[in-house]
Amino acid sequence: MTALTLKNVNKSFGKVQVLHDINLEVEDGEFVVFIGPSGCGKSTLLRVISGLEDATSGEITIGGDVVNMVPPAKRGIAMVFQSYALYPHLSVKANMALGLKQEKQPKDEIEARVAEAARMLSLGDYLDRRPSELSGGQRQRVAIGRAVVRKPKLFLFDEPLSNLDAALRMNTRIEIARLHRTLDASMVYVTHDQTEAMTLADKIVVLRDGRVEQVGSPMELYNNPANQFVAGFLGAPSMNFLPAGLVGGASDTTIGIRPEHIRLSDTGRLKAAVSHVENLGGDTNVLVELADGTQMTVRLFGQHNVAPDEAVSVDFDDADTFHFGASGERLRDATVLATDALQS
């Protein structure tokens, strides 16, 4: 069964349309990540799914039921908010139990579920504390616990890690992944951080300006981006784009090449000057500037002795390149070859 189906979902605030014809399926047990730059509508989409916002048109189906007219609490969802949104006046235990009490669940059932969630998230020692007495990471776990106890058909996460520091973010990320495996639950997760998207998702949905740009597994999107936007959005450092004319391609097309696929070589096709070097120890990122002013990032494995202002030549295998048309659309190899042939 599908956990969530969106059919032609549109959302407008007044005259501004923020979501355009969103179609999507989330399978049972799947971990789906919405990613996109800020303002792309990913959080709005999550709020439409949760019922905190109404869709202007379209159909939302959760666990087989159309829920457009169903209030959030009855949709079978649970949401984890960016700011945790814990009830400040209630203890950790009461925070987790409040939703169940509202559903009029029997007392021992509530106790059992809270205890189970507390065990799973190692919150046992903090059950009687209030949110203000917890650290950021603990608060985040309480927020997740509050979602877990409700046994929802669908978990919704709204940028849950963005208020944590880097180290804690990694731990919590691993914890969420573990939770997903243990509960085998369907989850929708919104983030702008591609590391989170790549590491957590079964399926990534890339959004831009309220439209779905591409849907697919992390490696699919990385290896086979549908367009220049997706290609540039995923991967760090991000993909280099150069006018195809520089290497003999059609003048109005663009070539994309990932930094790790470029090498410095004495016989390289492109002459460049090193403008900056970032030594990361394990990797070295070399920023170079081509004669026409195009900037490129070259990611080299290991440590390299390169100095700014040094003249270098760079090169890459054509097999590693992506070709994009003038409006950013991906040109599949066949078409590229055809244009190449015409040129020569």
Partner 1 sequence: MRTSRIKWHIIVFLAPAVLVYTAIMIVPLFNTLRLSLFTEVDQERVFVGLENFRTLFGDPRWSESFWNALGNNFWFFFIHMLVQNPIGILLAALLSNPRLRFSALYRTAIFVPTILSFVIVGFAWKLILSPIWGIAPEMLDAVGLGFLYQPWLGLEETSLTTLALISVWQFVGIPMMLIYAALLSIPDEILEAGECDGITGMSAFWKIKLPLILPSIGIISILTFVGNFNAFDLIYAAQGALAGPNYATDILGTFMYRTFFGFQLQLGDPHMGSAIASAMFVIILIGVCLYLFGIQTRMRRYQF
Partner 2 sequence: MNKARRNPFNLFAAHGILIVYTVIALFPVFVILINSFKERRSIFREPLALPDGESFSTVGYETVFNQGDFFLYFQNSLIVTVASLFFVLLFGAMAAFALAEYKFKGNTLMGLYLALGIMIPIRIGTVAILEMMVSTGLVNTLWALILVYTAQGLPLAVFILSEFMRQVSDDLKNAGRIDGLSEYTIFFRLVLPLVRPAMATVAVFNMIPIWNDLWFPLILAPAEETKTLTLGSQVFIGQFVTDWNAVLSALSMAILPVMVLYVIFSRQLIRGITSGAVK
Site residues (vs partner 2, CB under 8 A): 51-54, 68-72
Could you say whether residue 14 binds partner 1 (CB under 8 A)?
no
**CA atoms of 170 and 199, how far apart (whole Å):** 10
Could you say whether residue 103 binds partner 1 (CB under 8 A)?
yes
Choose the stretch contacting partner 1; rule: CB under 8 A; options: 99-107, 115-123, 245-253, 308-316.
Answer: 99-107
Q: Which is nearer to partner 1, 89 or 178 (CB)?
A: 89
Q: Which is nearer to partner 2, 65 or 125 (CB)?
A: 65
Q: Which does 81 bind (CB under 5 to 8 A by kind): partner 2, partner 1, none?
A: partner 1
**CA atoms of 194 and 6, how far apart (whole Å):** 23
Number of neighbouring beta carbons within 10 Å of residue 146 = 26
Contact pick of 66, 73, 291, 326 for partner 1 (by CB under 8 A): 73
Host H or E run for residue 199: helix 194-200
Q: Which does 306 bind (CB under 5 to 8 A by kind): partner 2, partner 1, none?
A: none
Q: Which is nearer to partner 1, 158 or 196 (CB)?
A: 158
The residue to which tokens 């409040």 are assigned: 98
Could you say whether residue 85 binds partner 1 (CB under 8 A)?
yes
Could you say whether residue 98 binds partner 1 (CB under 8 A)?
yes
Q: Which is nearer to partner 1, 16 or 334 (CB)?
A: 16
Contact pick of 4, 31, 44, 50 for partner 1 (by CB under 8 A): 50
Contact pick of 4, 62, 67, 78 for partner 1 (by CB under 8 A): 78
DSSP of 264-306 = E-TT-SEEEEEEEEEE-SSEEEEEEEETTS-EEEEEEES----
Q: Which is nearer to partner 1, 130 or 261 (CB)?
A: 130
The residue to which tokens 């905190």 are assigned: 52
**Amino acid present at 239:** M
Q: What's the closest the beta carbon of residue 113 comes to partner 1, in angstroms?
A: 13
DSSP of 108-153 = HHHHHHHHHHHHHTT-GGGTTS-GGGS-HHHHHHHHHHHHHTT--S
Q: Phi then psi for 97, rounded to 5 degrees?
A: -85, -20
Q: Which is nearer to partner 2, 50 or 254 (CB)?
A: 50
Q: What's the closest the beta carbon of residue 239 comes to partner 2, in angstroms?
A: 41
Both tokens of residue 214?
Answer: 């591409």
Both tokens of residue 25?
Answer: 């399926």
Angle at 171 between CA 165 and CA 173, to 5 degrees: 95
Q: Which is nearer to partner 2, 60 or 164 (CB)?
A: 60
Binding residues vs partner 1 (CB under 8 A)? 50-52, 71-74, 77-79, 81-83, 85-89, 98-99, 102-103, 130, 132, 146, 150
